[in-house]
A and B are shown apart, each in its own frame.
Chain A
Amino acid sequence: MIVLANILIVATIIVGVVFTIVTSIGVLRLPDVYTRAHAASKSSTLGVLGILLGVFFHFWLNEGHFSIQILLGILFLFITSPIGGHLMSRAAYMSGVKPTELTVKDDLAEVVKKAKQSKAVTSQKEQ
Protein backbone atom coordinates (compact mmCIF):
# COMPACT_ATOMS: atom_id res chain seq x y z
CA MET A 1 0.00 0.00 0.00
CA ILE A 2 2.82 2.36 0.91
CA VAL A 3 4.61 1.43 -2.33
CA LEU A 4 1.49 2.24 -4.36
CA ALA A 5 1.09 5.57 -2.54
CA ASN A 6 4.74 6.42 -3.14
CA ILE A 7 4.46 5.59 -6.84
CA LEU A 8 1.46 7.94 -7.09
CA ILE A 9 3.33 10.69 -5.24
CA VAL A 10 6.50 10.35 -7.28
CA ALA A 11 4.57 10.22 -10.55
CA THR A 12 2.60 13.40 -9.87
CA ILE A 13 5.66 15.29 -8.65
CA ILE A 14 7.70 14.19 -11.68
CA VAL A 15 4.92 15.33 -14.02
CA GLY A 16 4.84 18.68 -12.19
CA VAL A 17 8.59 19.19 -12.34
CA VAL A 18 8.77 18.24 -16.04
CA PHE A 19 6.02 20.74 -16.85
CA THR A 20 7.82 23.43 -14.86
CA ILE A 21 11.05 22.76 -16.78
CA VAL A 22 9.11 22.92 -20.05
CA THR A 23 7.77 26.28 -18.91
CA SER A 24 11.20 27.73 -18.30
CA ILE A 25 12.52 26.40 -21.63
CA GLY A 26 9.49 27.94 -23.32
CA VAL A 27 10.04 31.31 -21.68
CA LEU A 28 13.66 31.25 -22.84
CA ARG A 29 13.13 30.07 -26.41
CA LEU A 30 9.80 31.47 -27.64
CA PRO A 31 10.06 34.61 -29.78
CA ASP A 32 7.73 37.25 -28.30
CA VAL A 33 5.73 38.32 -25.24
CA TYR A 34 2.49 36.60 -26.22
CA THR A 35 3.93 33.17 -26.90
CA ARG A 36 6.00 33.43 -23.73
CA ALA A 37 2.91 34.35 -21.70
CA HIS A 38 1.19 31.38 -23.29
CA ALA A 39 3.98 29.06 -22.13
CA ALA A 40 4.32 30.61 -18.70
CA SER A 41 0.66 30.75 -17.74
CA LYS A 42 -0.42 27.37 -19.09
CA SER A 43 2.23 24.83 -18.38
CA SER A 44 3.46 26.37 -15.14
CA THR A 45 -0.09 26.14 -13.78
CA LEU A 46 -0.14 22.44 -14.57
CA GLY A 47 3.40 22.03 -13.20
CA VAL A 48 2.63 23.63 -9.86
CA LEU A 49 -0.63 21.69 -9.77
CA GLY A 50 1.29 18.41 -10.15
CA ILE A 51 3.78 19.28 -7.42
CA LEU A 52 1.04 20.41 -5.02
CA LEU A 53 -0.98 17.26 -5.71
CA GLY A 54 2.10 15.16 -4.96
CA VAL A 55 2.62 16.97 -1.67
CA PHE A 56 -1.08 16.59 -0.87
CA PHE A 57 -0.99 12.84 -1.54
CA HIS A 58 2.19 12.46 0.53
CA PHE A 59 0.69 14.13 3.58
CA TRP A 60 -2.65 12.36 3.12
CA LEU A 61 -1.49 8.79 2.42
CA ASN A 62 1.80 8.62 4.30
CA GLU A 63 1.31 11.04 7.19
CA GLY A 64 -2.47 10.76 7.59
CA HIS A 65 -3.05 14.50 7.42
CA PHE A 66 -5.77 15.65 5.03
CA SER A 67 -4.63 19.16 4.13
CA ILE A 68 -7.55 21.18 2.80
CA GLN A 69 -5.24 24.18 2.38
CA ILE A 70 -3.30 22.53 -0.43
CA LEU A 71 -6.56 21.78 -2.27
CA LEU A 72 -7.58 25.40 -1.79
CA GLY A 73 -4.19 26.46 -3.15
CA ILE A 74 -4.69 24.28 -6.25
CA LEU A 75 -8.13 25.79 -6.84
CA PHE A 76 -6.77 29.30 -6.29
CA LEU A 77 -3.89 28.79 -8.72
CA PHE A 78 -6.20 27.32 -11.30
CA ILE A 79 -8.41 30.41 -11.14
CA THR A 80 -5.76 33.12 -10.89
CA SER A 81 -2.81 32.00 -13.02
CA PRO A 82 -4.58 32.20 -16.42
CA ILE A 83 -6.04 35.56 -15.40
CA GLY A 84 -2.54 36.80 -14.67
CA GLY A 85 -1.37 35.66 -18.10
CA HIS A 86 -4.37 37.27 -19.75
CA LEU A 87 -3.87 40.60 -18.00
CA MET A 88 -0.14 40.69 -18.78
CA SER A 89 -0.56 39.97 -22.48
CA ARG A 90 -3.46 42.43 -22.65
CA ALA A 91 -1.37 45.14 -21.01
CA ALA A 92 1.47 44.36 -23.41
CA TYR A 93 -0.85 44.59 -26.42
CA MET A 94 -2.43 47.84 -25.28
CA SER A 95 0.97 49.46 -24.72
CA GLY A 96 1.93 48.58 -28.28
CA VAL A 97 4.25 45.57 -28.00
CA LYS A 98 4.56 44.12 -31.50
CA PRO A 99 3.95 40.40 -31.94
CA THR A 100 6.58 38.30 -33.68
CA GLU A 101 7.20 38.47 -37.45
CA LEU A 102 5.69 35.01 -37.86
CA THR A 103 2.20 36.29 -36.96
CA VAL A 104 -0.28 35.87 -39.82
CA LYS A 105 -3.54 37.12 -38.31
CA ASP A 106 -4.27 39.87 -35.77
CA ASP A 107 -8.02 40.22 -35.20
CA LEU A 108 -7.67 42.41 -32.13
CA ALA A 109 -5.94 45.19 -34.12
CA GLU A 110 -9.14 46.09 -36.01
CA VAL A 111 -11.22 46.19 -32.84
CA VAL A 112 -8.73 48.41 -31.04
CA LYS A 113 -8.54 50.72 -34.08
CA LYS A 114 -12.34 51.04 -34.24
CA ALA A 115 -12.59 51.74 -30.52
CA LYS A 116 -9.92 54.42 -30.77
CA GLN A 117 -11.71 56.05 -33.72
CA SER A 118 -15.08 56.10 -31.96
CA LYS A 119 -13.41 57.60 -28.90
CA ALA A 120 -11.82 60.32 -31.03
CA VAL A 121 -15.23 61.11 -32.55
CA THR A 122 -16.95 61.38 -29.18
CA SER A 123 -14.20 63.57 -27.76
CA GLN A 124 -14.50 65.87 -30.80
CA LYS A 125 -18.26 66.12 -30.24
CA GLU A 126 -17.73 67.00 -26.61
CA GLN A 127 -15.39 69.80 -27.58
Chain B
Amino acid sequence: MKTNDVILQTTTKVVFFIIFLFSIHIFFAGHFAPGGGFVGGLLTTGALLLLLLAFDLKTVQKALPFNFIIVIGIGLLLSLGTAAGSIFFNVPFFTHAFDHFTLPLFGETELHTAMIFDAGVYLVVVGSALTMIQTIGGDA
Protein backbone atom coordinates (compact mmCIF):
# COMPACT_ATOMS: atom_id res chain seq x y z
CA MET B 1 0.00 0.00 0.00
CA LYS B 2 1.27 3.40 -0.96
CA THR B 3 1.82 5.30 2.25
CA ASN B 4 0.22 8.68 2.67
CA ASP B 5 2.72 10.96 4.39
CA VAL B 6 1.15 14.36 3.80
CA ILE B 7 1.03 15.32 7.47
CA LEU B 8 4.61 14.23 8.18
CA GLN B 9 6.01 15.88 5.05
CA THR B 10 4.21 19.18 5.57
CA THR B 11 5.32 19.39 9.18
CA THR B 12 8.85 18.50 8.18
CA LYS B 13 8.96 21.43 5.77
CA VAL B 14 8.22 23.81 8.66
CA VAL B 15 10.09 22.08 11.47
CA PHE B 16 13.26 21.60 9.41
CA PHE B 17 13.83 25.36 9.30
CA ILE B 18 13.22 25.76 13.04
CA ILE B 19 15.79 23.07 13.86
CA PHE B 20 18.26 24.35 11.28
CA LEU B 21 18.09 27.96 12.48
CA PHE B 22 18.41 26.80 16.08
CA SER B 23 21.49 24.76 15.18
CA ILE B 24 23.08 27.82 13.60
CA HIS B 25 22.21 29.83 16.71
CA ILE B 26 23.79 27.15 18.92
CA PHE B 27 26.87 27.16 16.70
CA PHE B 28 27.40 30.93 16.92
CA ALA B 29 26.50 31.08 20.62
CA GLY B 30 29.24 28.58 21.43
CA HIS B 31 31.81 31.12 22.61
CA PHE B 32 29.78 32.77 25.38
CA ALA B 33 26.97 30.32 26.08
CA PRO B 34 26.52 26.53 26.01
CA GLY B 35 26.81 25.20 22.49
CA GLY B 36 29.49 25.18 19.83
CA GLY B 37 30.55 23.31 16.75
CA PHE B 38 29.81 19.79 17.94
CA VAL B 39 26.27 20.36 19.23
CA GLY B 40 25.45 22.64 16.30
CA GLY B 41 26.66 19.99 13.88
CA LEU B 42 24.62 17.29 15.58
CA LEU B 43 21.49 19.48 15.48
CA THR B 44 21.98 20.14 11.77
CA THR B 45 22.38 16.41 11.27
CA GLY B 46 19.12 15.92 13.16
CA ALA B 47 17.35 18.37 10.87
CA LEU B 48 18.67 16.61 7.78
CA LEU B 49 17.76 13.25 9.33
CA LEU B 50 14.18 14.48 9.68
CA LEU B 51 14.20 15.25 5.96
CA LEU B 52 15.52 11.75 5.30
CA LEU B 53 12.71 10.25 7.37
CA ALA B 54 9.94 12.23 5.73
CA PHE B 55 11.21 12.00 2.16
CA ASP B 56 13.35 9.25 0.72
CA LEU B 57 17.10 9.07 0.34
CA LYS B 58 17.16 9.95 -3.35
CA THR B 59 15.06 13.10 -2.96
CA VAL B 60 17.30 14.42 -0.20
CA GLN B 61 20.43 13.62 -2.18
CA LYS B 62 18.95 15.53 -5.11
CA ALA B 63 18.09 18.50 -2.90
CA LEU B 64 21.52 18.52 -1.20
CA PRO B 65 23.96 17.41 -3.87
CA PHE B 66 27.00 17.29 -1.58
CA ASN B 67 29.40 14.46 -1.27
CA PHE B 68 29.57 14.42 2.53
CA ILE B 69 32.99 12.75 2.53
CA ILE B 70 34.33 15.92 0.87
CA VAL B 71 32.54 17.96 3.55
CA ILE B 72 34.60 16.08 6.17
CA GLY B 73 37.75 16.96 4.23
CA ILE B 74 36.85 20.65 4.02
CA GLY B 75 36.14 20.70 7.76
CA LEU B 76 39.48 19.10 8.62
CA LEU B 77 41.27 21.53 6.30
CA LEU B 78 39.55 24.51 7.97
CA SER B 79 40.50 23.36 11.46
CA LEU B 80 44.06 22.50 10.52
CA GLY B 81 44.40 25.72 8.52
CA THR B 82 43.30 27.85 11.49
CA ALA B 83 45.73 26.06 13.73
CA ALA B 84 48.58 26.26 11.24
CA GLY B 85 47.93 29.87 10.24
CA SER B 86 49.36 31.11 13.52
CA ILE B 87 52.81 29.83 12.49
CA PHE B 88 53.07 32.58 9.86
CA PHE B 89 52.73 35.28 12.55
CA ASN B 90 55.65 33.97 14.60
CA VAL B 91 53.48 32.62 17.42
CA PRO B 92 53.12 29.00 18.56
CA PHE B 93 50.88 26.51 16.78
CA PHE B 94 47.16 26.91 17.67
CA THR B 95 47.48 30.50 18.93
CA HIS B 96 44.15 32.23 18.38
CA ALA B 97 43.56 35.89 17.69
CA PHE B 98 40.51 38.02 18.39
CA ASP B 99 39.49 41.64 18.12
CA HIS B 100 36.44 43.87 18.34
CA PHE B 101 34.91 45.12 15.14
CA THR B 102 31.95 47.33 14.41
CA LEU B 103 29.88 45.55 11.78
CA PRO B 104 26.83 46.94 10.01
CA LEU B 105 23.58 45.55 11.49
CA PHE B 106 25.34 43.73 14.34
CA GLY B 107 27.01 46.67 16.09
CA GLU B 108 30.17 45.95 18.02
CA THR B 109 31.06 42.29 17.61
CA GLU B 110 33.94 40.22 18.85
CA LEU B 111 35.39 38.19 16.02
CA HIS B 112 37.91 35.47 16.74
CA THR B 113 39.65 32.76 14.79
CA ALA B 114 38.34 30.10 17.19
CA MET B 115 35.09 30.45 15.27
CA ILE B 116 36.76 29.21 12.09
CA PHE B 117 38.12 26.22 14.00
CA ASP B 118 34.58 25.61 15.28
CA ALA B 119 33.25 25.80 11.74
CA GLY B 120 35.70 23.03 10.85
CA VAL B 121 34.42 20.89 13.74
CA TYR B 122 30.85 21.60 12.61
CA LEU B 123 31.54 20.48 9.05
CA VAL B 124 33.34 17.33 10.21
CA VAL B 125 30.45 16.36 12.50
CA VAL B 126 27.78 16.98 9.84
CA GLY B 127 29.81 15.23 7.17
CA SER B 128 30.71 12.12 9.16
CA ALA B 129 27.24 11.65 10.69
CA LEU B 130 25.48 12.01 7.34
CA THR B 131 28.00 9.76 5.61
CA MET B 132 27.29 7.05 8.18
CA ILE B 133 23.52 7.47 7.93
CA GLN B 134 23.46 7.51 4.14
CA THR B 135 25.78 4.51 3.91
CA ILE B 136 23.73 2.43 6.31
CA GLY B 137 20.37 3.66 5.00
CA GLY B 138 21.01 3.16 1.30
CA ASP B 139 20.28 -0.06 -0.53
CA ALA B 140 23.73 -1.42 -1.18
Q: Which residues of A contact B (CB under 8 A)?
A: 69, 72, 75-76, 79-80, 83, 86-87, 112, 115-116, 119
Contact = CB atoms under 8 A, between A and B. Distances in A.
Contacts of A115: 1-2
A76 B1 contact: no
Nearest to A119: B1
Interface residues of B, number: 9
**B interface secondary structure, majority:** helix
B1 A80 contact: no
Interface string B1-16: 1100001100100110
Interface of B: 1-2, 7-8, 11, 14-15, 18, 22
A116 B18 contact: no
**A interface secondary structure, majority:** helix
A83 B18 contact: no
A88 B12 CA distance: 16
A79 B15 contact: yes
A116 B11 contact: no
Contacts of A69: 22
Given A72-B22, A75-B18, A76-B18, A87 B8 contact: yes
A72 B24 CA distance: 14
Contacts of A75: 18
A112 B8 CA distance: 19
A95 to B, nearest CB: 12
A83 B7 contact: yes
